[in-house]
Amino acid sequence: MKIILIIFLIITLLNFINKSESACSLPTTGANCTSTLLYVPLTVPNDTVPILNFNITSSLSKTNNFIGTIKIDSIKEFDQNKKLVNSIPFTNWLSISDNSKFKYSIKSGDLSLLIDINWSTNQINSTLNYTSIEFSFNITKYQFQSPTNTLTLVLVQSLSDNQIASGKTACGISQLTQNSVFHQEVKLGDTVLLGELNPNSAIDGNIENQFLSASQINASTTVTTSSIQTSQIISINIPNFQSFAQFSTNYFPIKAPAPITSTFATGTVCVSVAAANTGRTSQQVAAICVGVIGFSIIGIMALHFFYLNGRFYNKKD
């Protein structure tokens, strides 16, 4: 089993190298090499709940940071007619003492799932680097109710901000696309949290022809007067196995060349925050107007008084 794991990790590394050998020069990325892979400081996962939160710098936020979130939600078993037959929600995980800094275990009844989170800083040169976050999953035990049934691992990824900066507009949308790999894209303003499912997997020791797929269960963007959150729920579809299933997914924080707008795509939702009023308030303006009018009336009365008095003294002369 260790040999299979080593082969699996080598294939994962080769896939990453192949993807890196694109037309773009790192840290640029995207179809036209106009986006930039970002560096995000190391974030320690929640020690009891299977969730990872981290900050991504953005000038659209009042705090200068969007919040990125990756959550491991549940495992679901489906029969060959796509009917749900079992669901195991993940409400907690157990940290494991290991050479790997972030290693966790989820155990519930017939399920045993090991998770490695590899937070990598990829150095380009002495001044440039970017962050990649890899989740490696190893299901070492699961009792299927039928040999024709399959599993789905449910993941949630999101970008959010509780306070958009004054005078700014932030738009959000979540999409699942498939090119050579499944891309799970969550976009908020000028920031993208990109997830890539590694299509190669190790199922019972067989690596060849074990292509994993992903499906979008739900995508939503919710807003208030000044906050926004865009998220999507993804299921990774896992074939029936007897001994183990190993697979991984990678996440990359990316800065787009410009914020998306309401016309970006169907389903894009936006929130705008009015610019801060640095001038006088409406009450102050009203008070000034009353003062000016009052002063003008007094001035007119004074002029009228002196005019009449002048005529009176002229008549006496």
Domain layout of the chain by residue ranges? 2-272, 279-317
Model pLDDT, residue 47: 86
226 Cβ contact partners less than 8 Å away, ≥ 6 residues apart: 162, 163, 164, 271, 273
pTM of the full predicted structure? 0.80
* Dist CA 153 CA 201 (whole Å): 14
| pLDDT tens track for 232-257 | 999 999 999 999 999 999 999 999 99
| pLDDT tens track for 124-181 | 887 889 999 999 999 999 999 999 999 999 999 999 999 999 999 999 999 998 877 7
φ/ψ bin of 59: left (φ > 0), alpha (ψ from -120 to 50), beta (otherwise) = alpha
Looking at 50-64, 177-191, 278-292, which range is the least confident one? 278-292
Q: In sequence order, what DSSP letters do the residues of 168-200 get, joined into one string?
A: -EEEEEEEEEESSSEEEEEEETTEEEEEEE--B
Query: Average pLDDT, stretch 110-122?
Result: 92
2 Cβ contact partners less than 8 Å away, ≥ 6 residues apart: none
Distances (CA, A) of 269 to 60, 62, 109, 158, 162: 15, 19, 41, 14, 15
* Dist CA 90 CA 145 (whole Å): 20
Model pLDDT, residue 103: 92
The band of 221, judged by pLDDT with boundaries at 50, 70 and 90, is: very high
Higher pLDDT, residue 10 or 178:
178
| pLDDT tens track for 270-305 | 999 999 765 555 555 555 555 556 556 665 665 555
User: Identity (one letter) of the amino acid at 6?
Assistant: I
Residue 30 scores a pLDDT above 60: yes
The proportion of the chain whose per-residue pLDDT surpasses 90, expressed as a percent, equals 62
Q: What is the DSSP letter of 244?
A: -
User: Identity (one letter) of the amino acid at 13?
Assistant: L
User: Identity (one letter) of the amino acid at 4?
Assistant: I
State the Rg of the chain over Cα.
30
Helix (H, G, I), strand (E, B), or coil: what is residue 144? coil
* Dist CA 142 CA 244 (whole Å): 8
Q: What are phi and psi of 24, to 5 degrees?
A: -85, 145
Model pLDDT, residue 212: 84
Short-list 242, 47, 15, CA closest to 132: 15
User: Identity (one letter) of the amino acid at 291?
Assistant: G
Model pLDDT, residue 276: 74
Q: What is the mean pLDDT of the chain?
A: 84
E strands, the chain, are: 28-29, 35-37, 51-57, 65-78, 84-89, 94-95, 103-108, 111-123, 129-141, 150-161, 169-178, 182-188, 191-197, 202-203, 213-223, 228-238, 245-255, 269-272
The band of 310, judged by pLDDT with boundaries at 50, 70 and 90, is: low
Model pLDDT, residue 312: 45
